Amino acid sequence: MRYNIIGKNIDVWDKTKEMVEKKLDRIAKLFPEDTNATITLSLEKLVSTVEVTIPLNKRLIRAEVQDTDMTAAMDKAVDILENQVVRYKKRMRTKVRQGGENFVAEYQAIMVPEEYLDEEPLYKIERIKHFEVKPMDAEEAVMEMELIGHNFFVFRNGETDEVNVVYKRKNGSYGLIEPEY
């Protein structure tokens, strides 16, 4: 695995690079050798943030952790990434078992040993909701979302006639997800 370590508001010294590489080497065996990992380290008001993004086939494996200690944040990020890769391999195994021939190569590219995978179902859907998708603009969708007290809202964009999603971000602002074909 190749590492691209970037520092924001922080100088990335050799010792920091060694620490990051040592922590990520723990999960490097789960990825193909030619995988590139992008690690962004930042420091703001004594809070360290570690963001790790690893492209895997057509997907992205990503973790973002904040902590007062950079090493602890890196450990937590590696734990998150490891869990994500194992879950992804389980999902691909399910697809292959269901006869998804086009998932076989993707399944084999993930280097997670079979003993990491248990037979427990990956997800359990407990509730299904049905609702009318009304045409509206994004501002109206945000208002509807706030009225029902959710942190996301699915709606049909009145201008494009596409299904969109508005969501509340961690910082209190709002985001809009539009499909791309």
**Number of H helices and number of E strands within the chain?**
4, 8
Answer yes or no: pTM beyond 0.75. no
CATH of the domain at 15: 3.30.160.100
CA 105/CA 130 separation, integer angstroms? 36
Instruction: Examine the domain organization and report whether 70 and 31 are in the same domain.
Output: yes
- pLDDT range class, residue 141, cuts 50, 70, 90: very high
- Please give the pLDDT value at position 103: 63
- Could you give the number of structural domains in the chain? 2
CA 64/CA 106 separation, integer angstroms? 25
For residue 130, being part of any structural domain is answered with no
Q: What is the DSSP letter of 52?
A: E
Number of Cβ within a 10 Å radius of residue 178? 11
- Please give the pLDDT value at position 53: 93
CA 156/CA 163 separation, integer angstroms? 4
* pLDDT tens per residue across span 56-77: 777 788 999 999 998 999 999 9
CA 88/CA 96 separation, integer angstroms? 12
Instruction: Examine the domain organization and report whether 49 and 112 are in the same domain.
Output: yes
Instruction: Examine the domain organization and report whether 111 and 147 are in the same domain.
Output: no
Domain containing 163 equals 135-177
For residue 129, being part of any structural domain is answered with no
Number of Cβ within a 10 Å radius of residue 19? 15
For residue 121, being part of any structural domain is answered with no
